[in-house]
Amino acid sequence: MKQSLIIDCDPGVDDATGLLTAFAAPALDLLAVTTVGGNVSAEKTARNARILRQIAGREDVPVFMGAERPLRRDPAGAGEFHGAEGLGDLEPFEPDAPVAEGTAAEAIVRLVMERPAGAVALAVMGPMTNLALAMRAEPGLAAHLGPVVVMGGARSEGGNITASAEFNIWADPDAAAEVFASGCRMIVMGLDVTHQVRATEERIAAIEALPTASARAAAAMLRFSQRVERQIVGWDAGPLHDPCTVAWLLRPELFALKPCRIAVETQSDLTRGHTAVEFRVEAAGANHFWATKADAAGVFALITERLGESA
């Protein structure tokens, strides 16, 4: 059976590879893409999601525009890692199909609540603002959701924005804190695991060799990230963050998870967005699961396979 899925994202070059992989996955019943301000502005992320949808030939999937700003903070961006327009070197254009009517939070509530409990998974590739707003609007949402697979947080690897905070959580820590406290089942792909999934030269070249439009777009994003990571961080092979959420949904055996309890720091300026990952919990009652290991070769093989059969 197909897994019904909503992708909540802020494209973003790594979001782009995740989206293109999901668009090409027959095992996923992609109900909607919802977008949020994050890597770039909300207007640009909604446009970028529609550009990627058009490249993939998946105009059947509605795109809903979401929150323009965090719950309580000023908007923050990451254009230095994603390009000013959010899609690296890809020249943006106005997509043929518009955004769908209604907000992202409204779409999440409707699409989840009109289906049986546990039927709809959510992949969150950006700040959790839309999901927090949806949970505020519908108190029963957390209990009705299927697995919520999040790219966010850091523990042993430290942060990529501050010493202890990863960007997606840091950008709206208040939203993340509410979602982690909601009781929904969450599988969390933090930097501890995404830093294991590296876009090596060989892996990028394998995607470049594919004949599809989606593969060409994904390869261009990976090349941009490779160049930026070398310039800013000094890594030869940059990590692939957001697509790990889609990879887990398609091939959960590629990841090792540990039950835990996660809380988010919202008060301290010094540690804003820090994810406190506590492993001393009863496994049977745990709602949070922290990814500790990834089969990087398997993740890239999966992405390459899907992009090779895409539009």
What residues have CB less than 8 Å from 244, skipping those under 6 apart?
151, 189, 193, 194, 197, 255, 291, 294, 299
Assigned token pair, 169: 């959580």
Helix (H) or strand (E) holding 261: strand 255-264
Question: Using CA atoms, how far apart are residues 168 and 177, in angstroms rounded to an integer?
Answer: 12
- Between helices 129-137 and 104-113, what is the axis angle to 10°? 60
For the question of residue 241 being annotated catalytic, the response is: yes
Work out the number of other CB atoms within 10 angstroms of the CB of residue 305.
15
Assigned token pair, 76: 């923050």
Question: Using CA atoms, how far apart are residues 241 and 238, in angstroms rounded to an integer?
Answer: 9
Catalytic residue among 82, 144, 195, 241: 241
Q: Which residues have a catalytic role annotated? A: 241
